[in-house]
Structure 1
Amino acid sequence: MDRTFGNLAMNEGELAMKIALLSPIAWRTPPRHYGPWERVVSLLCEGLVEKGIDVTLFATKDSQTRGKLDYICPAPYEEDKSIEPKVWECLHIAHLFEQANQFDLIHNHFDFLPLSYSRLVDTPIVTTIHGFSSPRILPVYQQYADRSYYVSISNADRHPTLNYIATVYHGIDLESFTFQSEPGNYLLYFGRIHPDKGAAEAIRIAKTFKMRLVMAGIIQDDRYFEQEVAPHLDGEFINYVGSVGPGDRDRLLGGAYALVHPIAFAEPFGLSVVEAMACGTPVVAFARGSMPEVIRDGNTGFLVESVEEAVEALTKIPAIERIACRQWVEERFSQERMVNDYLKVYEKVLELETAKRSRAQSVWGKEELICDEGNYRIRRLTIKPGQNLKWTSSTPVKQEWMVVQGAASLSLKNQKVLLKEGESINLSPEFELEIASTGVCSLVMIVTEVRDT
C-alpha cells in the first residue's frame, strides 16, 4: 500500500517524513542543567534521528543535535538577560512557520502561542501540552483545536474541554542514570524552589524523620526561598546545592535514601520522579496530578496525602526493592518507548490529514466549512447523485447529520438508515459511516459537531 501526503512518502513497513520540532528558547536544547521541556524535545529529536527520520530542530543557536538545527534566537533568554523573551519568542515561532511548507508535520513543544499561527499554514501540527500554567491560557487551545492534534503527557493532565489524539508519557535516557542497589543516608528534594513543588514541606518531612536533606533546583520564587527555605539551611542537615547538571544529578538521585516530592499542585508529569526511580531510588510523593500514573504505590515508592503520612512512608522504604524501581522505568518511561509512541501519533495524524484532503477533493462532491466557533463546528457536504462517501470520525464529539436536499442511504455498522429532506441522525463519537446519494439531485447534508464544555 502506497500513500502520499505533501513531501511525505509512506510505504508499508517504512516511514519517511520531514518533521519540524519547535523547542522553547528559555534554555538550550538540551539544557545544561534545568530545562525539562527542552530536555524532552532533545531526547525525542535524537531518538527520531536514530530511526532515520529527517528532523529539523528549531531552538537556540547554541543547541546541540545530530539532526538539523535551525535558529534565529542567539542564546537562551534565561541565560542571557539582554534577550527580551516575548520579542524573541515571536521571532522564533515565525521563523518556523514562514517555512512550514517544507515539512510534512510540525511538532509544537512551545505551549499555546504557536497555535495562533496555525491557520496561516496548511502543514499538520501536533502540540504536546506540557501542562497548563493557568486556566487563562485555555481559550487559545480551545479556539485552535481544529488546527492542532493535542497530546497530553499524562491522563491526569487532560482538560475536559479539549480533545486529544494520544497520551505520551515522557521518556528518559536510561544510560544517563546509574542504578544504585544500596540506599544512601539522606533524603533528596529535586525540583524548582517554589510553593507548588513543596520545598518547605520537604524540610518539615526531613526534620520530623530526622534524616539529612539535600535540596537541588533553581530558585523560581525568591521571596518563598528567603522566607521558607533559607532560614533552615545550615550546610549540613539541610543543604541547598543549587541547580545541578547531568553528572551531579545522577550522583544525587542515585545516592539518596528516597526522593521526597510533596507537591502542592496537580503535577502534569514529574521528570525528577522518574529519574530517581531509574537510579533505584524510591519516591514518596503527595498523590496529586500524574503521581498515581508515574509511581507504582507500594512497589516503587509511596503515594501520601500529608507531611505526617510522608514521614510514616519513609519508615517503609527498606521494604522497597530498588531494582523494581529501575525495572518500572525501563518498562514505561524509556526514550525508546516515547519516540515510538510519537511516531505512531505522527503516522495517525498524517493518515487523518490525507483522508481529509481526499474527501475535500474527491469526485463525489465537496465539503465546506460553514462555521467554527470553538465548541461547535458546522459543515456542508454535497454528494453527487449516485455517488458514495465513506466517512471515519476519530474525534470524540457529538454529531448530527441532517439532510437538507435529496435523499440518503446511510450504512452504520450493520444498520442501514434511509433519510429524506428534513430528517437527521445523531451519531456517537468515533464511528465509520458510508453515505449513498440515492435521489435524482445532489444530496446536501449539514453536519454539526458539538464538543463537551
Structure 2
Amino acid sequence: MRIAMLSPIAWSTPPKKYGPWESVVSLLTEGLVKRGIDVTLFATADSHTSAKLHAVCPRPYEEDQSILVKACECLHISDVFERANEFDIIHNHFDYLPLTYSALVNTPVVTTVHGISSKKILPVYKKYNNKTFYVSISDAYRCHELDYIATVRHGIDIEGLHFNDRPQDYLLFLSRLHKDKGVKEAIEVAKKTGRKLRIAGFIADQAYFEKEVQPHIDNEQIIYEGHVDPERKKELLSNAYALLHMINYEEPFGLGVVEAMASGTPVIAMNLGSMPELISDGETGFLVNSIDEAADAVQKVASISRKKCRENVEKRFSVDRMVDDYIKVYETILKTCKREAERPWGHYEVLMQRPGYKVKTITVLPQGEISLQLHAHRNEHWYIVSGEGLVTKNGIQIRVLAGDSVDLSVNEEHRIKNIGNDNLIFIEVAQGDYLGEDDIVRLEDKYGRV
C-alpha cells in the first residue's frame, strides 16, 4: 500500500508549538511507517518524519510572513496530484482545496474533515461527495449534507505525556486565545473559585485578547504563560489541578482535552460538540452548561481519579488505535475502487488522466458485451489491441480485429461485443469536458443495468 499524506503547511509536521492538524498527521504517518506501509509525506521542508518527505514550501507560512500563502498552497497541492499515479491512496488533511484536483486523477482521495471553517466552503465538499471519501473526527462533527466512510477519533502520543498523581493547585487554560475557546469564561471560573489560572496558547485574536483577557492578567491569580513549547506544555498539563475548556462553539474534537486526561488531569468542559465523546462525565471530568456549573465542578474535582483519566485515554485514544482505524478505511477504499474497475463483461484500467482526456485499457471477456450506450460529454476513440469484436455504432455493425479503430462522437449510440474465444482488448481514448464513469446513458444491457 502506497499512501500520499498531504499535510497542511501553516505549521511544520510535527509542529514546533501549535498545529493540531499537523500533529495528527505526524502521529498517523509515523504509525503507518512502523506498520511497514510506504508513506510519502507532503509537508513543509523543515518537517521531520521517518517517511519519505517531499516539500515545495521551505517553512510554515505562519512562521514566515514573506511567503505568499496562496501560491505556496497551489504548488504544494498540485505537487501531490501530479504524482498521483505513484500512490494507491491520497490522504488529504488540507481541507477543501485539494478536492478540486480529485476529479483529474484516478487515485482515490480520502479527506479527514478536521473542521469546516464556514458554510461558504460546503459547496466544494458537496460537489465531491460520493466522488471522494470523507472521514469525520467525531460523530458530533458530521455535516448532514455529506456522506462519511468512517469516524476516526484522533490518537495522541500517550507515552510522551507525563502522568502526575500529585498536582499543584492551579487551573489551566491551554488553547489558542480566541472567543471560541472560552478563555474569558475560564478567567471568570477562576475568580469565582478563588483559584490560580495559568493561561497558555498563542493569541489568535489580538482585539479579543486586549479587551477580554489582558486586563485580568496580574501574574498572581491570572497568569499568561505565552505560546509555550511542547515540554512546557507537558509540565503545565501534568501539574494542573484541572483543565478548563469553556468553549463557545461546537468543537470538532479537542486534542488538548485528551492530552490533559492522559496527564491525569480532569477536564471541566462546556457540553458542546464532541465533548461528550471525549469526557466521561463524573469519571474523567465534568460536562457543564454555565460558568456557575463549572465553578461547582471545580469543587468536585478531588472526586476524580487521575489514574482513571490516564487509563481511559490509553484505552480509547492511542496512536495504535487511530492507525488501525485508518488502515481499515484504506482497505475499504481500495476494495471499493477495485470493484468500480470490474464489470460483468470484464474490466478496465486507467492508464492516464489529464484535464480534457483519459486513456484506458479495456478487456472484454469471451461472449461479454458492454451495454448499448451513449455519452453526453465525451468523444471516444477505440484501438483494438487483440481479439475479435463486433461494434454496433448507430445501428450499424462493424467487425473489428487487432489494428482496427473506431471513432465515437458525443451522443452516438454504441456497444462492443467479444465474438471470439480469447479476451478482446482495446485502448480507449476519451476526450471531453467531463470524463467521470457516470457519464453513461445505458439504452440496453444484457446484465440488467439499464
TM-score range, shorter chain: 0.7 to 0.9
CA distance in 2, matches of 1:131, 1:268: 6
What is the deviation of 1:287? 0.6
- Of 84, 93, 100, 2:84 maps to 100
For 2:416 and 2:223, locate their aligned partners in 1 and report how far apart those are by CA, in whole Å: 71
Structure 1 residue 236 corresponds to structure 2 residue 216 = no
Counterpart of 2:127?
Answer: 143
Alignment-mate amino acid for residue 146 of structure 1: N
Report Cα offsets for 1:370-406 as digits up to 9, x if no partner. 799xxxxxxx9x9989xxxxxxxxxxxxxxxxx9866
The equivalent residue for 1:204 is 188
Q: CA deviation at 1:358?
A: 1.1
Residue 305 of structure 1 is matched in structure 2 by: 289
- Runs of 4 or more above 4 Å deviation: 362-372, 382-385, 403-406
Are 1:384 and 1:443, in contact at CA under 8 Å, matched by a contact in 2? no
Quick one: which of 146, 153, 169 aligns to 1:185? 169
2:319 to 335, 342, 350: 335
Aligned residue number for residue 199 of structure 2: 215
State how far apart, in whole Å, the 2-side matches of 1:51 and 1:405 are. 48
Report the alpha carbon displacement of residue 43 of structure 1 after superposing the two structures with TM.
0.3
Matched, 1:56 2:40: yes
Query: Using a 3 Å threshold, how does the CA distance of structure 1 residues 350 and 310 change in structure 2: closer, same or farther?
Result: same
Counterpart CA distance in 1 for 2:280 and 2:122 is 31
CA distance in 2, matches of 1:237, 1:68: 47
2:242 maps to which residue? 258
SS of structure 1 residue aligned to 2:112: strand
Which of 280, 290, 297 is the matching residue for 1:296?
280
Determine if contact 1:405/1:444 at 8 Å carries over to the other structure: no
In structure 1, the partner of 2:94 is 110
Mapped contact 1:28–1:59 kept (Cα < 8 A): yes
Distance 2:233 2:53 in 1: 27
| Contact 1:383–1:444 under 8 Å retained in 2 | no
The CA distance in 2 between the partners of 1:325 and 1:369, in whole Å, is 61
Q: What is the CA-CA distance between 1:444 and the residue it aligns to? A: 5.7
Contact kept, 8 Å, 1:405 with 1:445, in 2: the verdict is no
Q: Equivalents in 2 of 1:370, 1:53: separation in Å?
A: 39
**What stretches of structure 2 of length at least 5 have no aligned partner?**
349-363, 378-412, 419-440
SS in 1 for 2:163: coil
Cα displacement (A) at 1:343: 0.6
State the shift of 1:365 in Å. 4.5
User: Residues of 1 paired with 2:5 and 2:180: CA distance?
Assistant: 29
Deviations 1:64-112 (A, max 9, x none): 0011000000110000110011110111001111111111110000000
- TM-score, L = length of structure 1: 0.79
Tell me the SS of whatever aligns to 2:94.
coil
**Cα deviation digits, residues 385-433 of structure 1 (max 9, x gap):** 9xxxxxxxxxxxxxxxxx9866xxxxxxxxxxxxxxxxxxxxxxxxxxx
TM-score by length of 2: 0.79
CA distance, structure 2, for counterparts of residue 365 and residue 329 of structure 1: 55
Residue 13 of structure 2 contacts residue 47 of structure 2 at CA under 8 Å; is this kept in 1? yes
Partner of 2:231: 247
Partner of 1:410: none
Indicate how the Cα distance of structure 1 residues 21 and 232 shifts in structure 2: closer, same or farther if over 3 A, else same.
same
Deviation at 1:52, TM superposition (A): 0.7
CA deviations 1:153-202 (Å, max 9, x no partner) are 00000000100000000000111111111232000000010000001000
C-alpha separation between the residues in 2 aligned to 1:334 and 1:369? 51
Q: 1:371 to 1:157 in 2, by over 3 A?
A: farther
CA shift, 1:147, in A, is 2.8
1:156-171 paired onto structure 2 within 5 Å: 156-171=140-155
Deviation digits for residues 281-317 of structure 1, max 9, x if unmatched?
0000001000000111110000000101100111111
The answer for the alignment partner of 1:429 in structure 2 is none
The worse-fitting range, judged by mean Cα deviation, of 260-269 and 243-252 is 243-252
Q: Mapping of 1:377-392 within 5 angstroms?
A: none
Distance in 2, Cα, partners of 1:252 & 1:27: 22
Alpha-carbon distance in structure 2 between the residues aligned to 1:91 and 1:270:
30
Is 1:176–1:246's contact at 8 Å kept on the other side of the alignment? no
Quote the Cα distance in structure 1 between the aligned partners of 2:375 and 2:324: 37
How far apart, CA to CA, are the structure 2 residues paired with 1:154 and 1:365? 45
3-state DSSP of counterpart to 1:164: coil
Verify the 8 A CA contact 1:157 1:268 in the aligned structure 2: yes
Amino acid at match of 1:199: V
Change (3 A) 1:340 1:193: same
Is 1:282 the equivalent of 2:266? yes
Structure 1 Cα separation of the partners of residues 443 and 127 of structure 2: 31
Cα distance between partner residues in 2 of 1:224 and 1:344: 43
Q: Which has the larger radius of gyration?
A: 2
Please give the alpha-carbon distance, in whole angstroms, between the structure 2 residues aligned to 1:110 and 1:275.
23
- For residue 30 of structure 1, give the secondary structure of its aligned residue in structure 2: coil
The amino acid that maps onto 2:5 is: L
The corresponding residue for 1:39 is 23
Per-residue CA distance 1:26-53 (angstroms, 9 max, x = gap): 0010000000000000000100111111
Q: Give the Cα–Cα distance (whole angstroms) in 1 for the partners of residues 50 and 316 of structure 2.
A: 25
The worse-fitting range, judged by mean Cα deviation, of 36-45 and 352-361 is: 352-361
State whether residues 190 and 272 of structure 1, in contact with CA within 8 Å, keep that contact through their aligned partners in structure 2: yes
| Amino acid across the alignment from 2:176 | R
Report 1:285-434 matches (<5 A).
Answer: 285-359=269-343, 361=348, 363=365, 365-366=369-370
Indicate the percent of aligned positions where both proteins have the same amino acid: 56
Q: 1:220-268: per-residue Cα shift (whole Å, max 9, x none)?
A: 0000000000000011210111121221111000100100000000000
Does the Cα contact within 8 Å between 2:374 and 2:442 map onto a contact in 1? no
Give the gaps of 5 or more residues in structure 1: 1-16, 373-379, 386-402, 407-436, 447-453
Q: Look up the match of 1:422.
A: none
2:254 is aligned to 270
8 Å contact from structure 2 (residues 130, 147) kept in 1: no
| Pair 136,210 (structure 1): closer, same or farther in 2 beyond 3 Å | same
Could you say which residue in structure 1 is the equivalent of 2:436? none
Q: Hey, what's the Cα distance between the residues in 2 that align with 1:369 and 1:404?
A: 7
Pair 1:176-2:180 in alignment: no
Residues 105-141 of structure 1 deviation map (CA, whole Å, 9 limit, x = unaligned): 1000000000000011110111000011111111000
